[in-house]
Amino acid sequence: MRTGPGRGYPIFHVVDRGETVAVIMQRTEWYLVRSGSGKEGWVDRAQMELTLQPDGNPVSFDEAGLEDLTNAKWELGVLAGDFGGANIVSLYGGYSLNPNVSVELWGSQILGNFSNGWMGSVNVVHEAFPEWRVSPFFTLGAGVIHTSPKSTIIQGEDRTDQIGHVGAGFRAYATRRFLLRAEYKSYVVFTSRDENEEVEEWKVGFAFFF
Amino acid sequence: MESRFRVLFLIVAIVGLSGCAATKNLFGFGREEAPPPSAEPPGQVIDPQVERREIKEPAIDREDFEIGAYVGIMGIEDFGSNVSYGVRLAYHITEGFFVEGTVGQSEGGLTSFEVLSGGARLITDSERTLTYYNLSLGYNILPGEVFLGEGRAYNTNLYLIAGLGSTRFAGDDRFSVNVGAGYRFLLSDSVALHLDFRDHLFDIDLLGEEKTVHNLEGHLGVTVFF
């Protein structure tokens, strides 16, 4: 047993063979246990899996893995990157209709040199190989964008426009319930002026699934 | 008479010896007795009174989240230093990495220009409120223990942290980056004190040309794991 939940903390007590321990709580991969003699300390997952349950069966813990990602229903993530020269920070939530297709709701804040704004959109994402560790996807969506010029810019007015976008990217399983995500999206802003605007976006970030 | 006594003695001796279990086999004439037929099969003899328990992982209390509040001092470049305060929520992914979201607020004072010029104001009073949110990734680089006196030891972590977010100041939202380091002092397994230093960087063109400003913040906070 260690004094803290980490590899570096010193081992201060060894539980005898045949003694029982009570699990108090878990933090990341570490378990706080109390021995029969009342000593409390932290034990890692590998050590815990060497113990036996009262019926004599070995203890095993369910570790979230790649197959859980493939079958996970919900996903929540944060991405940041470049939106046509401006900075963008995005939050999204996704729901899987089946292992290949999911629906996502996005909210973004756009922070540019001359204007700021926000964007909301609904996406459909298709993954051809959801069981791959690095899995590519295609996405299609629509939404609205609101832009307002910065206070130091005199001319210009607030605008709210509809947008449509297509994109591609990949999701890479990282560890436990986490994944990394990178994507490119090409937006068309349907402005009220004569010409539509086209904006390119690159983003990277992480998400967790459950 | 004598032979009658002898026969009687022999009978007594035989009965006595055969009745004594210890000597039965010693003399070789004891009979092997079959065990009495048991009423139930041997497997049923021990009836378990204790219910078997299985360790189910969801029943273990997971404490990977950390929530808390902090108060400190933030220096806003050109606008002086003032009290800052905020809340933080962190999730510990592994023993090393954690992600943290913070929302904080501070107040900008008067610039030197505004003080010297008398009445001139660059921005309104409501625009002097600085509000930020940050999403950061931290790494516990130096975990350790500290000792208070002879009988007390506390776990600590020195962490490096960096992230991005948005800062609202002087009438605009600005993309901001934060870098810093902090010290987590665990009072118990579930309660921690934080001493944290951050540099909040963003671009601002309020005073003519655009420049990157460094806004240093030092704060002290309390968090609870849940």
DSSP state of A2: B
Task: Tell me how far apart the alpha carbons of residues A78 and A182 are, in angstroms, rounded to a whole number.
Answer: 11
Pair (B156, B199) in one structural domain: yes
Amino acid B57: pLDDT: 62
Task: Tell me how far apart the alpha carbons of residues B2 and A194 are, in angstroms, rounded to a whole number.
Answer: 148
The residue among A3, A12, A28 with the most chain B CBs within 10 A of its CB, best to mutate, is A28
**CB-based contact, A20 to chain B, within 8 Å:** no
Pair (B126, B24) in one structural domain: no
The residue among A50, A87, A92, A173 with the most chain B CBs within 10 A of its CB, best to mutate, is A87
Write the single-letter amino acid at A160.
T
Give A82's strand partners: A87, A202
Tell me whether residues A26 and B60 touch, CB distance under 8 A: yes
Lowest mean pLDDT among A10-19, A116-125, A195-204: A10-19
In a domain, B48, yes or no: no
The residue among B189, B190, B225 with the most chain A CBs within 10 A of its CB, best to mutate, is B189
Tell me whether residues B57 and A78 touch, CB distance under 8 A: no
Here the tokens at position B42 are: 């041997």
Pair (B169, B200) in one structural domain: yes
Amino acid B179: pLDDT: 95
The single residue listed with the structure tokens 């219910």 is B51
Task: Tell me how far apart the alpha carbons of residues A36 and A22 are, in angstroms, rounded to a whole number.
Answer: 8
Pair (B207, B95) in one structural domain: yes
Nearest chain A residue to B208 by CA distance is: A152
B121-153 pLDDT, tens digit each:
888 888 889 999 999 999 999 888 888 888 888
Amino acid B83: pLDDT: 94
Pair (B24, B125) in one structural domain: no
Pair (B24, B87) in one structural domain: no
B84-98 pLDDT, tens digit each:
999 999 998 888 889
DSSP annotation string for B92-153: ESSSSEEEEEEEEEEE----HHHHHHSS--SS-SGGGEEEEEEEEEEEEEEEEEEEETTTEE
Helix (H, G, I), strand (E, B) or coil at A69: helix
B98-125 pLDDT, tens digit each:
999 999 999 988 888 888 888 778 888 8
Q: How far is A175 from chain B (nearest CA, A)?
A: 8
* pTM of the entire predicted model: 0.73
Nearest to A28 among B95, B174, B175 (CB): B95
**CB-based contact, B52 to chain A, within 8 Å:** yes
In a domain, B159, yes or no: yes
Nearest chain B residue to A178 by CA distance is: B93
Q: A40 to each of A5, A33, A34, A166, B96, how far by Cα in Å?
A: 12, 6, 4, 55, 22
Assigned fold of A1-61: SH3 type barrels. (2.30.30)
Q: How far is A22 from chain B (nearest CA, A)?
A: 10
> How would residue B217 be classed by pLDDT, with cut points 50, 70 and 90?
very high
Tell me whether residues B95 and A54 touch, CB distance under 8 A: no
- How many domains is chain B built from? 2
Pair (B25, B98) in one structural domain: no
> Who wins on pLDDT, B25 or B56?
B56
CA angle B3, B5, B6 (to 5 degrees): 60
Amino acid B224: pLDDT: 93
| Structural domain harbouring B93 | 57-225
Tell me whether residues B210 and A113 touch, CB distance under 8 A: yes
Pair (B21, B61) in one structural domain: no
In a domain, B215, yes or no: yes
B8-48 pLDDT, tens digit each:
555 555 555 554 444 444 444 445 555 555 555 555 666 66
In a domain, B160, yes or no: yes
Task: Tell me how far apart the alpha carbons of residues A170 and A133 are, in angstroms, rounded to a whole number.
Answer: 10
Q: What is the CATH number of the domain that holds B61?
A: 2.40.160.20
Helix (H, G, I), strand (E, B) or coil at B9: helix
Percent helix, strand and coil across chain A, each to the nearest 5: 5, 60, 35
Here the tokens at position A83 are: 């939106």
**CB-based contact, B94 to chain A, within 8 Å:** yes
Assigned fold of A67-209: Porin (2.40.160)
Nearest to A28 among B60, B94, B145 (CB): B94
Q: In the predicted model, what is the mean pLDDT of chain B?
A: 80
Q: Where, residue-wise, is CATH 2.40.160.20 in chain A?
A: 67-209
Contact B94, B136 (CB under 8 A): no
In a domain, B83, yes or no: yes
**Rg (Cα) of chain B, in Å, rounded?**
41
Helix (H, G, I), strand (E, B) or coil at A59: coil
CA dihedral over B127, B129, B130, B131, signed as positive or negative: negative
Amino acid B36: pLDDT: 55
Pair (B30, B67) in one structural domain: no
Helix (H, G, I), strand (E, B) or coil at A12: coil
The single residue listed with the structure tokens 């309390």 is B222
B67-81 pLDDT, tens digit each:
999 999 999 988 889
Residues of chain A found within 8 Å of residue B170, distances taken between Cβ atoms: 151
Task: Tell me how far apart the alpha carbons of residues A106 and A181 are, in angstroms, rounded to a whole number.
Answer: 14
Contact A116, A146 (CB under 8 A): no
Q: Where, residue-wise, is CATH 2.30.30 in chain A?
A: 1-61
Contact A107, A118 (CB under 8 A): yes
Pair (B12, B115) in one structural domain: no
In a domain, B39, yes or no: no
Here the tokens at position B215 are: 């806004």
